[in-house]
Homo-oligomer: A and B are copies of this chain.
Amino acid sequence: MVQVQALSKGEQTRERLLDIAQDAVLHKGFAGTSLDEIICEAGITKSGFFYHFRDKNDLAKALLQRYLDNEWRVFEDLFSQAEELSDDPLHSFLIFLKLFADLMSDIPNGHPGCLVASYVYQDYLFSQEVRRMTTEGHRIWRVRFRERLDRIAARYPPKIEVDLNDMADMLSAVADGGIILGKSLAEPAVLSRQIMQYRAYVKLVFGG
């Protein structure tokens, strides 16, 4: 049993505001999301909102930070689960990808959308700080996946010449693209299937 720190009333309200805002932003964009609708849905006044966030950009930043932290935790968790199930770097990575795909297919109405992708398509709306956070997010994922691929390549020489950075990026790309396709086609299964396609690629490149 994991001991979760109880949230104070203020933190609860803040989380609720973030939940509502994220949902709205992923469907209407940041500029299209009005503070009025957020506070209305949260049952709070405008002044109450500004007690929690300096301004709208501060909300954007908090939203992204929370999203990145969550993603980090999820991947951390999946990686450690996968490592418990196999010592072999390739098998472990393949298990990780399967777990990832399963997790994505378990989301009730499909993945709600990647906040980072959404921000990338609205970069002029945000401060440099926030833009740097999206860049950093993608860079971190590249490094994390790359580490795994390096370990795999050390034991299983690739069957074809391949740049491991590109291959690491491909997982991010396939995930971002899969989310978009899944939303657009109203076929939530697309995302997990795309991850499995990536998995098949990894298998072919390193596997026998």
Binding site for B on A (CB under 8 A): 26-32, 113, 116-118, 120-125, 134-135, 137-139, 142, 159-160, 162-163, 166-167, 169-170, 172-178, 180-181, 183-186, 190, 193-194, 196-197, 200-201, 203-205
Contact = CB atoms under 8 A, between A and B. Distances in A.
Contacts of A200: 160, 162, 201, 205
Q: Can you tell how many copies of this chain the complex includes?
A: 2
Nearest to A163: B193
A203 B142 CA distance: 24
Nearest to A27: B124
Contacts of A193: 163, 166, 169
A170 B184 contact: no
Contacts of A139: 185
5 contacts: A117-B117, A118-B121, A135-B185, A166-B190, A201-B204
Contacts of A118: 121
A137 B180 CA distance: 12
Given A26-B121, A28-B31, A135 B172 contact: no
A184 B138 contact: yes
Among all A-B residue pairs, the 4 with the closest Cβ atoms: A173-B177, A31-B32, A29-B29, A177-B177
A175 to B, nearest CB: 7
Given A26-B121, A159-B204, 10 more contacts: A29-B125, A135-B186, A142-B185, A166-B190, A169-B178, A169-B181, A169-B190, A176-B181, A177-B178, A201-B201
